């Protein structure tokens, strides 16, 4: 079982790596940003598989963090790229 | 019983890996940025979902399984938001160059 | 409670419910060790405070609607992934991408934004813009499909979770 899971993890890592290579060479900024999403899902999947294969429960914590960081970075990118009028939020209030 | 569960795991994990391959292929072959975004957000997400589902029978404890589901939920949430936001950014960029 | 302005329109039970859900999530992720619980309580309280800013109540959610919506969503996610996979593996990438415009009947704001986020995981569609009057611009993988009918079905499923709130328009 562990061998199958490890093989699947390596396969997914390879597929993600090819995709990463493709998007990071792209001239479109939003496509380069897809690298974050790729790392979030592909990285999480590979980590979960490796964690299950090796019996280390901590891997799922790292996968959780990866997924979380992927979400945060995409939001940061879009907020940074957006024009002021595109964000109709009220100015933040400070306590 | 555990042999059946083992087969379930292997089938689901393999299917998940195939979907990651599909996401990468779509990314390489689809003609425009937004279509590529479709490819990675949908295929990779289903891939992760299948892998989580496949690993559930192997989870050491109930909380371990719940944590797996949390990873998947969080990834769904982040994929939905991220593809949505990236899509809007690309669209805005197209209309107002 | 603390008298935060944003929390005024939320009953105490709703706040406690949210806090309990967050604490449960914390216990699942970190573990039930008593030494960690104070941190969990602080984190849940912070989460509730943030949620009052981001999701200031308004309208009820229907539980049966949520269940039906979730089942449909899961099935549709599978369809979406397989759909992309089929197109990606085809000898010649099988798609006709383009934009479709349709009018949404979901209330503009948080509800519509959530519906768009959900729709971006459904087969073949990626909402890219929502205007103030509810007009949606959607990028589609295949314009040959009946986009309007699919969007209407998605919206009907989403609307069921919004609860029995009378709305006209």
| Same-domain pairing of C47 and C77 | no
Whether C169 maps to a domain, the answer reads: no
Reduced 3-state DSSP string for chain B: CHHHHHHHHHHHHHHHHHHHHHHHHHHHHCCCHHHHHHHHHHHHHHHHHHHHHHHHHHCCCHHHHHHHHHHHHHHHHHHHHHHHHHHHHHHHHHHCC
| Same-domain pairing of C140 and C95 | yes
| Same-domain pairing of C39 and C71 | no
Judging contacts by C-beta atoms under 8 Å, the chain B residues touching residue A61 are 67
Whether C165 maps to a domain, the answer reads: no
- Given C17, C36, C54, the domain boundary residue is C54
pLDDT in tens, chain C (169 residues): 444 444 456 778 888 888 898 888 888 877 778 888 888 899 999 988 888 887 776 566 777 888 888 899 899 999 999 999 999 888 887 888 888 888 888 888 778 888 888 888 888 888 888 888 888 889 998 888 888 888 888 888 888 887 665 444 3
Whether C166 maps to a domain, the answer reads: no
Judging contacts by C-beta atoms under 8 Å, the chain B residues touching residue C158 are none
- In this complex, do B17 and A63 lie within 8 Å of one another by their Cβ atoms? no
Judging contacts by C-beta atoms under 8 Å, the chain A residues touching residue B65 are none
- Given C17, C37, C54, the domain boundary residue is C54
Q: In chain A, which stretches have pLDDT less than 70?
A: 81-95
Q: What integer pLDDT is reported at residue A13 of this predicted model?
A: 94
Q: What integer pLDDT is reported at residue B52 of this predicted model?
A: 93
C85: nearest CB among B19, B70, B81? B19
- In this complex, do C88 and B26 lie within 8 Å of one another by their Cβ atoms? yes
- Of residues A50, A49, A54, B61, the one with CA closest to residue C28: B61
Radius of gyration of chain C (CA): 20
**How far is the C-alpha of A48 from the C-alpha of A5, rounded, in Å?**
9
Q: What integer pLDDT is reported at residue A81 of this predicted model?
A: 64
| Same-domain pairing of C96 and C142 | yes
Q: What integer pLDDT is reported at residue B18 of this predicted model?
A: 94
| Same-domain pairing of C69 and C106 | yes
Best mutation target among B18, B20, B55 (most A Cβ atoms within 10 Å) is: B20
| Same-domain pairing of C132 and C96 | yes
Following DSSP, what letter does each residue of A61-82 receive, concatenated? HHHHHHHHHHHHHHHHHHHHHS
- In this complex, do B83 and A4 lie within 8 Å of one another by their Cβ atoms? no
Q: What integer pLDDT is reported at residue C9 of this predicted model?
A: 64
Q: Which domain holds residue C67?
A: 63-160
Q: Which domain holds residue B9?
A: 2-95
B17: nearest CB among A12, A33, A57? A12
Describe the crossing of helices B62-95 and C110-119 by its angle, rounded to 10 degrees: 100
Share of chain C residues as helix, strand and coil, in percent rounded to the nearest 5: 55, 10, 35
| Same-domain pairing of C75 and C45 | no
| Same-domain pairing of C147 and C115 | yes
Q: What is this structure's pTM?
A: 0.83
Does B57 contact C at CB distance below 8 Å?
Answer: no
Contacts of A20 (CB under 8 A, 6+ apart): A35, A38, A39
- Kindly provide the ipTM of the predicted complex, given to two decimals: 0.87
Q: What integer pLDDT is reported at residue C5 of this predicted model?
A: 44
Q: In chain B, which stretches have pLDDT less than 70?
A: 1, 96-97
The nearest CA of chain A is from the CA of B34 a distance in Å of: 9
| Same-domain pairing of C90 and C9 | no
Count up the domains in chain C and report the number.
Answer: 2
Q: What integer pLDDT is reported at residue A17 of this predicted model?
A: 93
Q: What integer pLDDT is reported at residue A85 of this predicted model?
A: 42
Q: What integer pLDDT is reported at residue A86 of this predicted model?
A: 41
Q: b/e map of C38-71 (b: 16 or more CB within 10 Å)? A: eebeeebeebbbebbeeeeeeeeebeebeeebee
Whether C14 maps to a domain, the answer reads: yes
Q: What integer pLDDT is reported at residue B8 of this predicted model?
A: 92
B34: nearest CB among C25, C31, C97? C97
Whether C92 maps to a domain, the answer reads: yes
Count up the domains in chain B and report the number.
Answer: 1
Best mutation target among B17, B21, B35 (most C Cβ atoms within 10 Å) is: B35
| Same-domain pairing of C80 and C148 | yes
Question: What is the count of residue pairs from A and B with beta carbons less than 8 Å apart?
Answer: 146
The nearest CA of chain B is from the CA of C60 a distance in Å of: 22
Residue of C nearest to B89 (CA): C128
Q: What integer pLDDT is reported at residue A45 of this predicted model?
A: 93
Whether C41 maps to a domain, the answer reads: yes
- In this complex, do A11 and B58 lie within 8 Å of one another by their Cβ atoms? no
């Amino acid at each position: 079982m562990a061998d199958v899971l490890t093989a699947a993890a390596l396969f997914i890592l390879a597929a993600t790596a090819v995709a990463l290579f493709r998007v990071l060479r792209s001239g479109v900024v939003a496509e380069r940003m897809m690298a974050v999403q790729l790392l979030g899902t592909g990285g999480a999947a590979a980590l979960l598989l490796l964690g299950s294969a090796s019996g280390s429960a901590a891997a799922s914590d790292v996968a959780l963090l990866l997924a979380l960081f992927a979400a945060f970075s995409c939001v940061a990118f879009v907020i940074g790229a957006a024009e002021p009028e595109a964000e109709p939020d009220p100015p933040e209030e400070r306590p | 019983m555990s042999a059946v569960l083992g087969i379930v795991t292997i089938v689901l994990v393999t299917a998940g890996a195939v979907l990651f391959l599909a996401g990468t292929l779509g990314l390489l072959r689809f003609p425009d940025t937004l279509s590529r975004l479709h490819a990675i957000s949908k295929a990779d997400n289903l891939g992760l979902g299948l892998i989580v589902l496949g690993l559930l029978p192997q989870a050491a404890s109930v909380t371990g399984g719940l944590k797996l589901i949390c990873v998947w939920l969080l990834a769904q949430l982040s994929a939905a938001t991220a593809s949505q936001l990236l899509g809007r950014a690309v669209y805005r960029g197209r209309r107002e160059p | 409670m603390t008298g935060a302005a944003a929390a005024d329109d939320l009953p105490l039970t709703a706040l406690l419910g949210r806090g309990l859900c967050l604490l449960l999530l914390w216990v699942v992720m970190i573990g039930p060790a008593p030494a960690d619980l104070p941190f969990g309580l602080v984190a849940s309280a912070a989460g509730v405070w943030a949620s009052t800013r981001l999701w200031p109540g308004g309208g009820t959610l229907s539980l049966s609607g949520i269940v039906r919506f979730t089942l449909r969503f899961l099935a549709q996610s599978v369809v979406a992934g397989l759909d992309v996979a089929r197109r990606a593996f085809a000898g010649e990438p099988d798609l006709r991408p383009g934009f479709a415009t349709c009018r949404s009947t979901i209330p503009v704001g948080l509800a519509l934004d959530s519906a768009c986020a959900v729709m971006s995981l459904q087969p073949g569609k990626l909402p890219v813009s929502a205007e103030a009057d509810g007009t949606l611009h959607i990028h589609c993988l295949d314009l040959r499909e009946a986009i309007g009918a699919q969007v209407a079905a998605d919206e009907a499923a989403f609307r069921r979770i919004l609860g029995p709130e009378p709305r006209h328009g």
